[in-house]
Copies of this chain bind each other. A is one copy, B any other.
């Protein structure tokens, strides 16, 4: 598998928040129940999103989480990067200190690093597909075929 369940859970969490009216906190418990995910584990997942300043939080009773920005302005590359760390197709692509992505292969006796060419293209393909998808699109998609909401949510 390419992405771990952190990405899956985190994206579902973001979509769930996107479905709520903004500025109104949603508790993790509500999301855990709605999606059938373990609450304690979701806490760790949402912590990454908070550190990346994609969501904001309020503590205490009636606290919860909400999107830090409108869903239209949140690219899924930001979300996945926050959840999974740098998007690198291969070990040698990650520089531990800076989290920047590069290739640490030795010059390979003067030859060009052929695999680097391949992994760079793959990485580009992934990042492009993530960048061109906004959270708002996913939220919209998740509403398809839903009954028209009535009085109470």
Contacts and interface: CB of A to CB of B under 8 A. Distances in A.
Interface of A: 1-3, 5, 7-8, 11-12, 15, 76, 87-92, 94, 110-115, 117-119, 121-122, 124-126, 128-130, 132-133, 137-139, 141-147
Provide the main secondary structure of the chain A interface.
helix
9 contacts: A5-B91, A8-B115, A111-B144, A112-B142, A114-B142, A115-B138, A117-B138, A121-B132, A122-B129
B130 A114 contact: no
A126 B89 CA distance: 10
Contact of A118 (B76, B112, B119): B76
Given A2-B90, A122-B129, A146 B114 contact: no
